[in-house]
Structure 1
Amino acid sequence: MADVLIFAPAPLLTVTLEGDHPGGDLHVHSGGQGIWQARMLRTLGRSVAIVGSFTGESGRVVHHLLADEGIEVHPLQRKGRGPAYVHDRRTGHRTVVAELRGDPLSRHELDELYAAVLREAMACRLVILSGPADEGILPDDVYRRLAADLRAEGLPVIVDLSGARLEAALDGGVALAKVSDAELREALEIRGDSLDEIVAAGRRMRDAGARSVVVTRAREPLVLIDGEHAYLVRVPRMQEVDADGAGDSLLAAVVSALAEDQPLTEAIALGAAAGALNVTRHGLGTGDPEAIHRLRARVTIEEIGEDDAEAFTLDQLAARAEVDDR
């Protein structure tokens, strides 16, 4: 029995060239949003299971790589072309050499995958619904159906989605939704970067079906909407090496804390620390657990008021949440 189940519909095979010496180094890993989330959850001591489709030669390689990392895999194995990419980072920046889209799921394959998610979710405490890297792998409405069916079984559903997939999941109902301000801007939910706009967009997401909402803002403090309350979450700035995967690390750390029944504000503080530290590393979804927990103590949370912001310690916020739940 795993602590967390992750729906990762189409994991990636990632090939990365690195190094400043002649020829460089070649790194082959499993990847994709759900995989990076699983990696951080494992770093923080949680047991993780993944349900996903593993397609063709690249899918077989990804399956073996995940097993080597100690991640429980419930695969839908199928023929065809699996998603993959080749990136060159020998200059210090990511250069795309090749990116391959995976084949879409057939109706029969989708039915099998859906059933596997429901079956394995019954043995877990929380479920993350992650998205594929490319459009067209599966219909967006799958996220609505999964969110609704899992919620009906009393399972907390956490999503890190955008666009039509996010709208579908919200329609099904989720415990926590994470989105970036850039994704909100792309969806025309906000036009600029004002705090008022972002809080209003987060509250619309809450009203659309999310109990709580986290909005990340790159190097700016993230925003948490929890019921009627809105908070700014600040973390010390780190020197950035690679920002890719920071949001996945953040969400995974939040879920790790929720799996221990920690209050949401405590979980968000851990997530903010994990996301901040991830940008200092080359590996996506990786981190040092001791460093994450130490940085967590430096995270501050302030309630956003209409006229000013009132600062609270995490203990005060936890006590306030207990009063609100009565």
Structure 2
Amino acid sequence: MQPDQEPAADDTPVDVVVFAPTPTLTVTIEEVEGSPDIHLHAGGQGVWQARMANLLGSSVEYCALLSGETGQVIGHLLEDEGIRVRSVAGHAASSAYVHDRRGGGREEIAAAPGDRLSRHELDELHGLVLREGLIAKTAVLSGAPRDDAVPVDMYRRLASDLRSGGCRVIADLSGERLEAAISGGLALVKVADGELIASGRAESDDPDELVQGMRSMVADGAEVVVLTRGSRPALLLEGDSISEVRVPELQVVDEHGAGDSMTGAIASALAAGDTIQSAVVLGASAGANNVTRHGLGSGHADSIRRLAALIDVVPFEEGTQTGPVQQASPEDLARKAKTQ
């Protein structure tokens, strides 16, 4: 497939549409038995979300602008994973990075954030996402490696237009893009506590402050808010109800992509007709499972569903402080899973 051409591919409706304007070609260098082991993948926030939703059984369509050599490679890699690609014609370069992990961490060798999209590219991409999202009925709005890849207001317009057409819109964004999407109207927003504080909606990570910040998002246009808090239980605001989502703490291999795995799993579950609480539990399980792996947005569907059975959702009592969930060993989890 040539990414700048509208594919004459399968037009069967999908379960979830993911909008992330410029995905990333990732080159990762690892070491196996003293020799470099080089991995090539499609990456970036929207890709990890799409990958997780696809892993959990949803049919997924990825809408973006893919151009140049990197764009061609990204398109083929996504399709090889079973993710349908819809790209508009354009000339803006896709992003890419090279990371060296042979030392145990992530050393960035080189990174290209990609280009800003032109007016014509933006118009075509908006139309593409609107059309595909209205068909799928569930859409995820994600960011880009560079903040100015698309205008902030595009997120407001997409959220508003998709919602007006009966599409369930989920956002996993930050900064001005998040605020714009909320003002357009969202079925669900997933946000980290640090982002809530940075936005000025909360003054600190005090739980009561965070809850008030979540409620302000609802007042401004979000129906449901899911707030992640690192090692502390996530918070779920649905209607007037605030809940804690308590996940057994697993051994961390790589924390990158955990939030995106959570978002992808939530979208997959909601598209399948699950309740908000069930979807968030599955999302929390997918995020926790992801940190035990090197592959971002990856895992095993059966493992994720088994871990989900071990997650507790309890009412949140304002005025209380909650610490990390006690860490569970693999043996503890195995014993608990057998009783489910």
| Corresponding position of 2:113 | 101
Cα distance in 1 between the residues matched to 2:190 and 2:21: 18
Which one of 167, 178, 183 corresponds to residue 171 of structure 1?
183
Do the aligned partners of 1:7 and 1:130 also contact (CA within 8 Å) in 2? yes
What TM-score comes out, normalization by structure 1 length? 0.92
Which is further off, 177-186 or 8-17?
177-186
Partner deviation per Cα, 1:52-90 (whole Å, 9 max, x = no partner) = 001211111101111111111111242243211111111
Cα distance in 2 between the residues matched to 1:135 and 1:106: 15
Cα distance in 1 between the residues matched to 2:28 and 2:134: 36
| Corresponding position of 2:135 | 123
Partner deviation per Cα, 1:127-183 (whole Å, 9 max, x = no partner) = 111111211101010000000000100111000011100000010000000110121
Cα distance in 1 between the residues matched to 2:79 and 2:301: 21
Shift of 1:191: 3.2
3-state SS in 2 of match to 1:40: helix
Residue 11, structure 1, aligned to residue 23, structure 2: yes
Residue 112, structure 1, aligned to residue 124, structure 2: yes
Do the aligned partners of 2:100 and 2:109 also contact (CA within 8 Å) in 1? yes
Which is further off, 158-167 or 184-193?
184-193
| Corresponding position of 2:249 | 237
| Corresponding position of 1:313 | none
- Percent identity between the two aligned chains: 49
Cα distance in 2 between the residues matched to 1:84 and 1:164: 24
Do the aligned partners of 1:20 and 1:91 also contact (CA within 8 Å) in 2? no
Which one of 268, 283, 287 corresponds to residue 275 of structure 1?
287
List gaps (5 residues or longer) in structure 2.
1-12, 322-340
| Corresponding position of 1:287 | 299
Cα distance in 2 between the residues matched to 1:215 and 1:133: 22
Shift of 1:185: 2.4
Cα distance in 2 between the residues matched to 1:74 and 1:50: 6
Cα distance in 1 between the residues matched to 2:22 and 2:50: 14
3-state SS in 2 of match to 1:19: strand
Do the aligned partners of 1:230 and 1:304 also contact (CA within 8 Å) in 2? yes
Cα distance in 2 between the residues matched to 1:22 and 1:250: 34
| Corresponding position of 1:61 | 73
Do the aligned partners of 1:56 and 1:78 also contact (CA within 8 Å) in 2? no
Which one of 191, 196, 220 corresponds to residue 203 of structure 2?
191
| Corresponding position of 2:161 | 149
Partner deviation per Cα, 1:17-51 (whole Å, 9 max, x = no partner) = 01253332000100111110011111101100011
Aligned-pair Cα RMSD in Å: 1.3
List gaps (5 residues or longer) in structure 1.
310-326
| Corresponding position of 2:311 | 299
| Corresponding position of 1:226 | 238
Which one of 36, 44, 64 corresponds to residue 32 of structure 1?
44
| Corresponding position of 1:217 | 229
Residue 51, structure 1, aligned to residue 63, structure 2: yes
Do the aligned partners of 1:12 and 1:62 also contact (CA within 8 Å) in 2? yes
| Corresponding position of 2:3 | none
Tell me: CA distance 1:12–1:308, structure 2 relative to 1, closer, same or farther (3 Å). Answer: closer
Cα distance in 2 between the residues matched to 1:96 and 1:189: 33
| Corresponding position of 1:162 | 174
Do the aligned partners of 2:52 and 2:265 also contact (CA within 8 Å) in 1? yes
Do the aligned partners of 1:87 and 1:98 also contact (CA within 8 Å) in 2? yes
Cα distance in 1 between the residues matched to 2:172 and 2:252: 22
Letter in 2 for 1:209: G
Which is further off, 290-299 or 78-87?
78-87
3-state SS in 2 of match to 1:298: coil
What TM-score comes out, normalization by structure 2 length? 0.88
Letter in 2 for 1:109: E
Cα distance in 1 between the residues matched to 2:100 and 2:86: 31
Shift of 1:268: 0.8
Shift of 1:308: 6.8
3-state SS in 2 of match to 1:86: strand
Moved beyond 2 Å, runs of 4+? 20-23, 77-81, 185-192, 305-309
